[in-house]
Amino acid sequence: MSETIVEVKNLVKRYKELIALDNFNMKIEKGEVFGLLGPNGSGKTTTINCILSLLDFDNGEIDVFGEKMKSNRFDLKKKIGIVMQDVAVFDELSVEENIDYFCGLYIDDKNLRKQYVDEAIKFVGLEDFTKFKPKKLSGGLLRRLNIACGIAHKPELIILDEPTVAVDPQSRNKILEGITELNKQGATIIYTSHYMEEVEQICTHILIMDKGKNVTEGTADELKRSIKNTENIIVYIKNLDKKHIEAINNINHVYEVSYMSGRLQIKCAGGRHNITHVISYFADNNLDYDRIYSELPTLNDVFLEITGKNLRDKE
């Protein structure tokens, strides 16, 4: 039998006339890497703050580890690690001192705390930087310090809100490997990110929310099978006339065509030989292209199809 770690039931949160969460529901099982996705302003941060009991809400229930979460439930909060998007460390403390401080909020025993701090430093790869102050660290190292401060006390539930923002590829890879390892060690993870390839790589279950509601959820494969788009055909071709774009849009199973800077994207719904039909069109019309390939829809395609392409205000 699975064990539910977080259950959010019919959650409503209002800011005057604005409804930030509109009867929102979510259930996270033990051992999941749970991707919580949504456009800016969809309610992700509000949801997290309500789960942590940092915000009051108007209606609904939140259970964490099978018990009602309240602001004074420090016994439950002790089992949660939080790594927020904005780095929250003390500039006047060294790397080691920062991790020790945050670990000390939960672990009183000095010997055990020293062990946990050393393990957290090794886990995020900061062994050569223990005496450095945060201002001397690169962006990637600072993010890893932020993670170490949030997970040093070995929480059972870890909430990671955009942990790889503005870091180099090497640091991003190190962070993602670390998250996967934390999960293997038994932690349940809530992960928010706008990098869809990260979510597809590490998350075992994904929920997409918008306008304060649960829009859809499932595994990455389940979500990709649920949308209209079944195949993307990309063609690199110069100076393609509008009449050809319109004709391609009328090919069987093609439902959307876009052309920009020599890149033609053709979206298909169904069909088994779509790229063959496209190639035949180019051959019949004596059109030369540089390159053509077909790819399956990505999680990014799912996200855009479900939430739309309009820009959103920052959450």
Q: What is the pLDDT of residues 240-286, one digit of tens each?
A: 999 999 999 999 999 999 999 999 999 999 999 999 999 999 999 99
Tell me the two tokens of residue 163: 């942990």
User: 91-116 burial, b if ≥16 CB within 10 A, otherwise e?
Assistant: eeebbbebbbebbbebbeeeeebeeb
Read off the pTM: 0.90
Q: Which pLDDT value is given to residue 315?
A: 46
What distance in Å separates the CA atoms of residue 115 and residue 131, rounded to the nearest whole number? Answer: 17
Q: Which of 33, 34, 36, 70 is nearest to 51 (CA)?
A: 70
What distance in Å separates the CA atoms of residue 159 and residue 82, rounded to the nearest whole number? Answer: 5
What distance in Å separates the CA atoms of residue 223 and residue 203, rounded to the nearest whole number? Answer: 13
What distance in Å separates the CA atoms of residue 191 and residue 161, rounded to the nearest whole number? Answer: 6
The two beta strands, 157-161 and 59-64, are unpaired
Ordered by where they begin, the domains of the chain are: 4-225 (3.40.50.300), 231-296 (3.30.70.980)
Q: What is the pLDDT of residues 75-125, one digit of tens each?
A: 999 999 999 888 999 999 999 999 999 999 999 999 999 999 999 999 999
Q: What is the pLDDT of residues 92-105, one digit of tens each?
A: 999 999 999 999 99
What distance in Å separates the CA atoms of residue 292 and residue 264, rounded to the nearest whole number? Answer: 9
